[in-house]
Structure 1
Amino acid sequence: IGARLSVLSQSELYKAIRHHHKNDTRKNTHRAVKQALDTIEATSGSRPPPSQLWLALKKRKHKTLTQKWCAFNWKALHQAHKVGEYWLHTRMKDSRMPCTECNAPAESLEHILLECRVSHQELVWDLVKSQWELTGREWPCINMGLILGISAIQIRDPDGKVNHALTRLFQILVSESCYLIWCLRCEWRIGREANPMRRHTVSEVTARWQSAINKRLRMDWKLTSRAIYKKKALPQRLVARTWQLIAPNLQYINEKRIEGVLVGMGIERRPPGRNR
Structure 2
Amino acid sequence: MSDSVTQSGGTQPANYSAAGGTNSIFQANFGPGTTYSTTTDSGVSTMPGALVVYGTGTTQTISGPSIVNDSNPLGSNAFTITSPTTIIAAPSDTITAATAATTVYGGWDGITQFSLGGDNSSITGGPGAITGISTGANTTLIGGSGNSIFTVTGANSLAVAGPSGITGIDASTATAPITIATNPNGNSGTLVAKLGSGADSVIGGSGASTVTAGSGKDVFGFVNGHAGGTEVIIGFNSSDNLAFGGYGYSANNLPTETVTSAGDVMTLTDGTQILFAGVDHKIF
Q: TM-score, normalised by structure 1?
A: 0.26
Q: Which has the higher strand share?
A: 2
Q: TM-score, normalised by structure 2?
A: 0.26
Highest RCO, 1 vs 2 (Cα 8 Å, sep ≥ 6): 1
